[in-house]
């Protein structure tokens, strides 16, 4: 089979293997390489969340205008579309550990520069924009390498567990990072917040230094740096029906039901103010962690197609409840449920991709799906916001959810593996 050929059913079954064994909730942490990856991921992701909240606060203090904040947010997304596929190719060409080192190194240098500029009284708005763009490029380029390294850090039977724990770490950092950043600003000032954030990257870099790339050197040197090799991941994805099906339904659901942009409106509608807005914003991450805990307890999900389908349906149903909810508590519960269903579905999709893809194009295939999923969430914020101006907030979410379910039904009819795929 060539790198770009579509795997047959028998080949898929062979590649996945029969290693679906019961894994303890923290089973992947038995392996030193995975512990190093998880530890560096927790520190790096928490540092990124802290820096983001400090940057947003400083920009608002400089400008007292929402447009500069929107520009800051867009700078975090643009590199994904421009360089997402390149990150995947690099992950297949270069020692993946070195890619992580460069990524964390860039984040360390840019955050340290902000700390120095602020402490010396020389920080300007463009400094924040420039360093945000550089760190966003680093994140985009090292993302496929990080995911690919997880595959080689644990046995195949532990992959679901490893990816679930990695997703939980990221969601945990989304919960605690902004809180730590906000507390540091309040208690010690902006300069101290930047300094502490910079320090978070030091142990993250140390952990990555202890990692190893399990691939032989000849495997890393195989791809050439050209357009054909860059597009190899796209060709593999479009020729693998179950990956196409999973990606299509996720793309549609995230594009048309991106509720986060509407949360300030719902906080005002429910009369809960800024504190309630914060709780609404955090609720999906709490649900994601709960869903991850359920997956960790079960160990694995053999009927993956059905699980992803039910996850999408559950997510849309939760969005419907949120859109129509007249009560704050119900809204919190609905958002937590949406985060839980989305989290379970996303982890199963990611695990399936990592089990199916050949290792020599793992980075490129991962980057293709990353561009679709992460990019769609960002673009969806704009689309949902625009739809809300015409249909109202509830109308935008209800209409988007109905369309997402219609696409899910069409995909299930076109690719039966959407529902039937299993290990």
CA distance 334 to 42: 27
Flag whether 3 is in a domain.
Answer: no
201 and 246 belong to one structural domain: no
Range with the poorest average pLDDT among 9-13, 47-51, 109-113: 9-13
pLDDT digits (tens, 9 = 90+) for 176-220: 888 788 888 888 899 999 999 999 999 999 999 998 766 655 555
75 and 159 belong to one structural domain: yes
308 and 188 belong to one structural domain: no
**Percentage, residues of the chain above pLDDT 90:** 30
Question: Is residue 325 scored above 50 in pLDDT?
Answer: yes
Query: How many angstroms separate the Cα of 146 from the Cα of each of 38, 86, 205, 215?
Result: 10, 14, 13, 14
306 and 182 belong to one structural domain: no
Of the three residues 208, 228, 248, the one that is the final residue of a domain is 228
pLDDT digits (tens, 9 = 90+) for 71-113: 777 787 788 887 888 888 888 888 889 999 999 999 999 999 9
Of the three residues 228, 247, 280, the one that is the final residue of a domain is 228
Flag whether 9 is in a domain.
Answer: no
pTM above 0.95, yes or no: no
Query: How many angstroms separate the Cα of 417 from the Cα of each of 165, 234, 306, 362, 422?
Result: 26, 19, 9, 21, 8
Flag whether 372 is in a domain.
Answer: yes
Flag whether 18 is in a domain.
Answer: no
Of the three residues 194, 228, 262, the one that is the final residue of a domain is 228
173 and 286 belong to one structural domain: no
CATH of the domain at 323: 1.20.1250.20
CA distance 408 to 423: 21
- Which residue range is the domain that position 188 belongs to? 24-228
Flag whether 15 is in a domain.
Answer: no
Work out how many domains the chain is built from and give that number: 2
Flag whether 12 is in a domain.
Answer: no
Task: Give the per-residue pLDDT at 215.
Answer: 60
144 and 255 belong to one structural domain: no
Mean pLDDT taken over the chain:
83
173 and 279 belong to one structural domain: no
Asked whether the beta carbons of 79 and 106 are under 8 A apart, the reply is: no
212 and 236 belong to one structural domain: no
278 and 372 belong to one structural domain: yes
pLDDT digits (tens, 9 = 90+) for 261-277: 788 788 888 888 767 77
């Amino acid at each position: 089979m060539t790198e770009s050929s579509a795997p047959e059913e028998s080949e898929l079954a062979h590649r996945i293997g029969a290693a679906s064994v019961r894994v303890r909730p923290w089973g992947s942490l038995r392996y030193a390489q995975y512990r190093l990856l998880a530890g560096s991921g927790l520190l790096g992701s928490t540092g990124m969340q802290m820096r983001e909240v400090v940057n947003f606060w400083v920009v608002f203090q400089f400008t007292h205008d929402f447009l500069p904040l929107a520009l800051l947010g867009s700078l975090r997304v643009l590199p994904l579309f421009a360089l997402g596929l390149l990150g995947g190719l690099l992950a297949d060409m270069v020692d993946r550990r070195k890619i992580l080192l460069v990524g964390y190194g860039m984040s360390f240098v840019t955050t340290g520069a902000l700390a120095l500029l602020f402490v010396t009284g020389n920080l300007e708005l463009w400094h924040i924009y420039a360093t945000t763009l550089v760190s966003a490029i680093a994140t985009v380029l090292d993302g496929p390498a990080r995911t690919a390294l997880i595959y080689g850090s644990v046995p195949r039977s532990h992959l679901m567990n490893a990816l679930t724990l990695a997703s939980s770490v990221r969601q945990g950092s989304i919960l605690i990072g902004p809180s730590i950043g906000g507390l540091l600003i309040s208690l010690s000032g902006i300069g101290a917040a930047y300094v502490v954030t910079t320090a978070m990257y030091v142990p993250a870099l140390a952990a990555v230094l202890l990692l190893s790339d399990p691939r032989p050197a000849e495997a890393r040197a195989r791809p050439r740096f050209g357009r054909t090799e860059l597009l190899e991941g796209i060709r593999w994805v479009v020729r693998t029906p179950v990956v196409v099906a999973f990606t299509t339904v996720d793309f549609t659901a995230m594009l048309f039901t991106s509720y986060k942009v509407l949360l300030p409106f719902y906080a005002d509608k429910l009369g809960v103010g800024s504190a309630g807005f914060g709780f609404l914003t955090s609720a999906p991450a709490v649900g994601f962690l709960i869903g991850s805990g359920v997956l960790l307890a079960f160990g694995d999900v053999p009927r993956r197609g059905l699980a992803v389908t039910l996850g999408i349906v559950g997510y849309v149903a939760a969005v419907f409840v949120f859109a129509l909810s007249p009560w704050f508590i119900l809204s919190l519960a609905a958002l937590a449920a949406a985060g839980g269903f989305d989290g379970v579905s996303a982890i199963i999709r990611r695990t399936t991709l990592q089990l199916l893809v050949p290792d020599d194009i793992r980075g490129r295939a991962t980057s293709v799906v990353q561009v679709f999923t992460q990019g769609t969430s960002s673009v969806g914020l704009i689309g949902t916001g625009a739809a809300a101006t015409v249909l109202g907030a509830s109308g935008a979410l209800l209409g988007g959810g109905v369309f997402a379910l219609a696409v899910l039904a069409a995909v299930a009819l076109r690719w039966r593996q959407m529902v039937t795929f299993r290990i």
